[in-house]
Amino acid sequence: MDVRIYYEDTDAGGVVYHSRYINFLERARTEFLRQHGQSVAALHDQGVIFPVVGIDVKFRSPARLDDLLEVTTRIAQVKNRSFVAHQQVKRKADDKLLVDAHVALACVGEGMKARSIPQELRELLVSLLV
């Protein structure tokens, strides 16, 4: 997924504010699922929600105003009730790695109680393991 950097994404130093990367990662996971035939909205309507329960982010280099970034998502681990996405943010102009993240997501249902990942989705995630 491509992301263009705008003024609203930067801090007083003129670089992307660190929390904006979390938003970019979230959007990229949603688009990743959409590209593989899964709608986050439809899952939500079925009572299947994936909150982030852990995140390990390494900020390697800053992005700046007007940079065009590419955010990639790969599935690193799948369990019955959770999965881990490995995500990277690179600047498209020079392919420089800016952010490297591992994001752990739990599957929860009504009342935010842990539940199994629906079988069809779990099979898809397993098929996409790297």
- 2, 9, 11, 66: which is the annotated catalytic residue? 11
Residue 16 pLDDT: 97
Residue 11 annotated among the catalytic residues of the structure? yes
Integer CA distances (angstroms), 59 to 65, 66, 96, in order: 17, 19, 12
Residue 3 pLDDT: 98
Residue 93 pLDDT: 98
Residue 76 pLDDT: 98
Specify the amino acid at residue 73: T
Residue 78 pLDDT: 98
pLDDT in tens, 68-96: 999 999 999 999 999 999 999 999 999 99
Give all strands (DSSP E) within the chain, no chain letters. 2-4, 52-59, 68-78, 82-91, 96-106
Residue 101 pLDDT: 98
Domains and CATH numbers, the chain: 2-127 (3.10.129.10)
Give pLDDT < 50 ranges for the chain: none
Residue 113 pLDDT: 96
Neighbouring CB atoms inside 10 A of 43's CB total: 17
Residue 105 pLDDT: 98
